[in-house]
Structure 1
């Protein structure tokens, strides 16, 4: 029983990473560059928290009526990707 719980939790962690990237507008392919991680630190830290505590984040998201993501990916002039809040440029 414990193995099934651990396996399900790990699957949930992987799915939360994919959903977080998709909702921000980032491709599922490849790794994030260090520039993207450090340039988008608030988004990255939120994603790490949601990955570790995904059941709580899922319940909160559903209770709020499945709101849109406040994050969006923007491409800089040099072609790198940063994640910003939707209201900020």
Structure 2
């Protein structure tokens, strides 16, 4: 039983990292290139930490009303570096996402 719980946690970590990548603006299907991870160390460290404690992260996200990710790629970014967006940038990204769905 312990093995099953441990395996479920490891699978959850992988799924959490995949989801954080998609929510930050990366592709759900193609993943984030390693170079982009290296130029976005703040996002990488925060995401790995949240993924390791994905159960807590999920509860906090659900209790908080499922807010959009504060991380993303700025619209005028030439490098594609993921950074924390301002409230205005997040609102613009959320409006653009709502128009496409």
TM range (shorter): 0.7 to 0.9
The 3 A distance-change label for structure 1 pair 45 and 2 is: same
| Length-normalised TM-score, structure 2 | 0.72
| Length-normalised TM-score, structure 1 | 0.80
The 3 A distance-change label for structure 1 pair 5 and 24 is: same
Task: For residue 81 of structure 1, give the secondary structure of its aligned residue in structure 2.
Answer: coil
C-alpha displacement of 1:40: 1.4
In structure 2, stretches of 5+ residues that fail to align are: 90-101
C-alpha displacement of 1:85: 1.6
Higher relative contact order (CA 8 A, sep 6+): 1
The one-character-per-residue Cα deviations of 1:46-82 (angstroms, maximum 9, x if unpaired) are 11101111111111111111111001124743xx421
| Stretches of 4+ aligned residues off by more than 3 angstroms | 74-77
CA RMSD for the aligned pairs? 2.2
**Does the aligned pair in 1 maintain the 2:21–2:32 contact within 8 Å?**
no
